[in-house]
Every structure is written in C-alpha cells, then in structure tokens.
Amino acid sequence: MSMRVASLASGSSGNSYYLECDEGAILVDAGLSGKAILHNLRLAGGDPGKIVGVVVTHDHSDHASGAGVLSRRYGWRLWMTEGTRESCRSLGGADVKFVKAGSGLKAAGFAIEFIGTPHDGADPVIVAVERAGARCGVFTDLGHAFAGLADHLSRLDFAFLESNYDPGLLAKNRRYPAGLKRRISGPSGHLSNGESAKLLASVPGTRLRRVVLSHLSEENNRPDLARGCFRGELGERMRELDLKIGVAERYCPMRLCPAL
C-alpha cells in the first residue's frame, strides 16, 4: 500500500487530515477535540494505533486546538515551526520537534516537505507528503496564490486545496464586520473559489488528478458554488485529464482513499 488519505474535518470549526501507509500514519493538523478526531478517524476507516505524530501547520485554533492533548495522551510527536510553538498556548508538555519552511523529514514511512505560506498565522506552512511515488498535499490557509504555488501543485497526485469563500456571499454577510471581510479576502487570508480555480487551471503538467476542495466557509460558501466555479474555469481540461474534484465536508470525515 503506497498511501491512503482522508479529510477528518475541514473548515473554521476544525481541520484535520489523516495519511497512512504500511509503516504508520500521521495527522496534518488537529483542530478539533481529541475525542472528535478519534471518532472521525474511526469513521473514515483509519487506525489511531498507527499514528506517530501530528504536523501542526500554524497556530490558529481550528488547526491546533487538539494537538497538545493528543500528544500528551498517546505520545504522538508534534512537528511545527518555532513561531507556531511560541503562539500555541495549549500544548503543555507535548513532544515538539521544530521544522522550517523549505525543510523536510521522514516519519511513518513518509517523506514530508514543509512549504511556507503568506497566511496570517505565526510562521505557517503547508505540507507535501510522499510515499512510494505517490504525493499528497494539504494546501489550505494559503493567504494568496503566491509565486511557485502552482509548481508545487504540479508535483502532487492528490491535493486538499483551499477554496474558502464566494466573494458575493462574503460581501453580503451582515454578521461579518468590514475588517474581518478584508482579512479573509486580503493577501494574508484565504483563497476564494475563483482564485483557487484559476490557480488549479494554471498548474502545469498532467500529474495532479484528484483534488478535494477544503476549508470551505460555512457562511460564505456552498459546495455547489465551489464545484460550479471549478467546472466553469477548468472546462474540458477536467475531462481530458480525468481530473476528479470533490469537496471535504465540514464536520464529517471522508472515507480513506488511495492518493494515487
């Protein structure tokens, strides 16, 4: 088995992704309670006994809130940047190993690469994980479509890709103050459906065949709007490449599937 992956939860209520192979498994982010993550992991078909550690991509609570308790309870190592560690208040005595953007490590049978982003966390990263020729990326909280991002995507087979908001719904949302709207849509915030679709359309080559749209806003997006935007932008290319595009649910896990 090369690699199997699943989104356990995706959105501002909490994010967590599970990746496994024969040797072991990791989580990318743990932004729910430990209990909720383990519950969703079992529903996805994963095995918590295989997990050796958690990559915490940045300090925001929807990515980090459950990491400390899981590390302390199960002895899982946490990988994060120094800036993320300094900003996380709930880690306690967790086993933390520092990483840097541009670096990598090997764990649980995977080669893990860390890529810096302009998101407004404390020294945030995204990750690309490789095993036996299969390569999966968890690319959310991107800030904007920064230089080199399309090339990173071109080296993936499977991507969890941010598609956070619909600009029209965000503009009409009376519950969000103007400052929050500017943060979301600004260069350190999140990618809209259109920005993400244009990014995917710009990816060179034909390697990337499976994309799961992730981190959708509950109030400012809908799965049908996100899918429709991508279909409209990519058109014939989806059929030519046999490109499959799904949507990660906010609270419910997806079933484990091959990354290649």
- What residue segments make up the domains of the chain, in order of their start? 1-99, 142-250
pLDDT at 52: 98
| Arithmetic mean of pLDDT, 175-190 | 98
pLDDT at 93: 85
Average pLDDT, the chain: 97
Q: Band of the pLDDT at 2, cuts 50, 70, 90?
A: confident
Residue 119 confidence (pLDDT) above 80: yes
Give every CB contact of residue 164 below 8 A, 6+ residues apart in sequence. Answer: 184, 189, 190, 191, 192, 196, 215, 216, 217, 220, 221
- pLDDT over 90, % of the chain: 95
Residue 220 confidence (pLDDT) above 90: yes
Predicted TM-score of the model (pTM)? 0.97
pLDDT at 107: 98
The Cα 39–Cα 173 span in angstroms is: 33
Cβ–Cβ under 8 Å, residues 150 and 199: yes
- pLDDT over 70, % of the chain: 100
Q: Band of the pLDDT at 19, cuts 50, 70, 90?
A: very high
- Reply yes or no on domain 1-99 having CATH 3.40.190.170: no
The Cα 141–Cα 95 span in angstroms is: 25
Q: Band of the pLDDT at 1, cuts 50, 70, 90?
A: low
pLDDT at 255: 97
